[in-house]
């Protein structure tokens, strides 16, 4: 899921871009002048995957916004929109910090293609799949898949919001995400969605996961928010990814569910175990040297 900041002062064009991006499952915040755009960037900067910035903006120009971002050493990918098609103007925009330059008028398919290209070049380029335990999120078909102990896959299709919510939780396993964090990430900053929209979406997502008997994977942390419990995403029989049982002679160990590494004061060790039927036999990890 990508959250995009659109800074465009033309109402008709901005509306078309926002609707098109939302249709393709992007979350879009839209500012209509440079000052408002900079406020979005100041408050929510790390929440955005990309920014689309028009050159000719009221209050603060697109070129100046680019310069400000780059002066602060921020690497947010920027696509600049403009009616200026002279080579000198393109050079000015790119030198100001824009990563790509799209001349008006343009087709939405070209805009979408350029956004995909920018996202591929970004350091946080996203893989086709995201997996925690035996729960896999497939970006190609908006589906979540459970992989059973017999390597049997069961999938269910998610709505756009269910997919974005599960993705956000899976990107931060075992961390508690507040209602505010989730709402700001999944819904537009100025969204008029109801105050209980996060809880309602969690309920819908749990119903989908209940089809795999994994509705307990999402925990409610009362008064704070929600957490994806990674330990509940391992097969309940014969999994190759069962949590490691700590050996009593090894002190101060931390089990990392996602990486599959046992971390000790002496260094990381791979987890070693075998499964027989419904019982996991955990091998003793290598012992630290005296």
Q: 213-257: per-residue pLDDT in tens?
A: 888 889 999 888 999 988 887 755 433 333 333 343 333 333 333
Domain boundary, last residue among 80, 104, 121: 121
Q: What pLDDT digit, counting tens, does each position of 104-144 carry?
A: 999 999 999 999 888 877 654 445 678 888 888 887 777 88
36 — pLDDT class (breaks 50, 70, 90): very high
CATH number of the domain within which 108 lies: 3.40.50.2300
Instruction: Please check whether residues 264 and 205 belong to one and the same domain.
Output: no
Domain with 144 in it: what CATH number? 1.10.10.10
Residues 246, 220 within the same domain: no
Average pLDDT over every residue of 84-88: 87
The whole-number pLDDT of residue 193 equals 56
Give the span between the Cα atoms of 203 and 274, in whole angstroms: 35
Q: Give the end of a domain, one of 102, 121, 140.
A: 121
Comparing 128 with 63, the larger pLDDT belongs to 63
Of 89 and 151, which is predicted with more confidence?
Answer: 89
User: Are 227 and 241 a contacting pair, CB within 8 Å?
Assistant: no
Instruction: Verify that 225 and 269 share a domain, yes or no.
Output: no
Quote helix, strand, coil % in the chain, to nearest 5: 35, 25, 40
What's the confidence (pLDDT) of residue 122? 63
Last residue of a domain, one of 215, 233, 251: 233
How many distinct structural domains can be found in the chain? 3
Confidence of residue 65 (pLDDT cuts 50, 70, 90): very high
Six-digit token string for 132: 């925690």
pLDDT digits (tens, 9 = 90+) for 167-217: 889 888 888 888 888 887 777 655 555 568 888 889 989 998 888 888 888
Q: Please state, rounded to an integer, the average pLDDT across all residues of the chain.
A: 76
* Percentage of the chain lying above the pLDDT 90 cut: 26
- 9 and 113 assigned to the same domain: yes
Average pLDDT over residues 139-154: 77
**pTM recorded for the entire structure:** 0.53
Mean pLDDT of 29-49: 86
What pLDDT sits at residue 16? 94
What is the mean predicted confidence (pLDDT) over 151-164?
Answer: 82
Range of the domain at 259: 242-290
Which CA distances in Å does 162 have to 83, 131, 154?
A: 38, 16, 17
Residues 214 and 259 in one domain: no
Residues 56 and 137 in one domain: no
Contact 157, 142 (CB under 8 A): yes
Check residue 142 and give its pLDDT.
77
Q: Are 90 and 98 in contact (CB under 8 A)?
A: no
Tell me how far apart the alpha carbons of residues 80 and 77 are, in angstroms, rounded to a whole number.
10
Q: Are 224 and 176 members of one domain?
A: yes
Of 4-13, 47-56, 119-128, 146-155, the least confident: 119-128
pLDDT at 191: 54
* Whole-number pLDDT of residue 268: 41
If asked whether residues 104 and 170 sit together in one domain, one would say no
Dist CA 183 CA 209 (whole Å) = 21
pLDDT of res. 81: 94
Same domain, 168 and 217: yes
Same-domain status, 133 and 196: yes
Q: What is the pLDDT of residue 162?
A: 86
172 and 272 part of one domain = no
Same domain, 182 and 287: no
């Amino acid at each position: 899921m990508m959250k995009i900041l659109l800074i465009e002062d033309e109402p008709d064009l901005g509306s078309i871009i926002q609707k098109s991006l939302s249709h393709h499952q992007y979350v879009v915040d839209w500012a209509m002048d440079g000052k408002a755009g900079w406020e979005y960037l100041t408050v929510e900067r790390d929440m955005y995957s990309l920014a689309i910035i028009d050159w000719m903006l009221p209050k603060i120009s697109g070129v100046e916004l680019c310069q400000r971002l780059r002066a602060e050493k921020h690497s947010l990918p920027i696509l600049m929109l403009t009616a200026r098609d002279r080579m000198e103007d393109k050079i000015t925009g790119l030198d100001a910090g824009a990563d790509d330059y799209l001349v008006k008028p343009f087709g939405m398919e070209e805009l979408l293609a350029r956004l995909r290209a920018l996202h591929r070049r970004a350091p946080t380029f996203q893989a086709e799949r995201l997996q925690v335990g035996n729960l896999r999120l497939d970006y190609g078909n908006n589906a979540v898949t459970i992989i059973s102990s017999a390597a049997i896959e069961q999938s269910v299709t998610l709505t756009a919001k269910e997919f974005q919510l599960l993705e956000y939780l899976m990107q931060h396993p075992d961390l508690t995400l507040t209602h505010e964090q989730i709402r700001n990430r999944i819904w537009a900053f100025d969204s008029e969605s109801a105050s209980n929209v996060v809880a309602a979406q969690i309920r819908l997502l749990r119903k989908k996961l209940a089809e795999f008997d994994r509705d307990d994977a999402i925990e409610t942390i009362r008064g704070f928010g929600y957490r994806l419990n990674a330990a509940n995403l391992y097969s309940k029989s014969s999994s190759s990814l069962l949590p490691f049982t700590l050996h009593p002679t090894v002190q101060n160990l931390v089990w990392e569910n996602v990486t599959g590494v046992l971390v000790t004061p002496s260094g990381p060790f791979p987890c070693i175990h075998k499964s027989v039927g419904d019982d996991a036999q955990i091998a003793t990890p290598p012992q630290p040297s005296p």
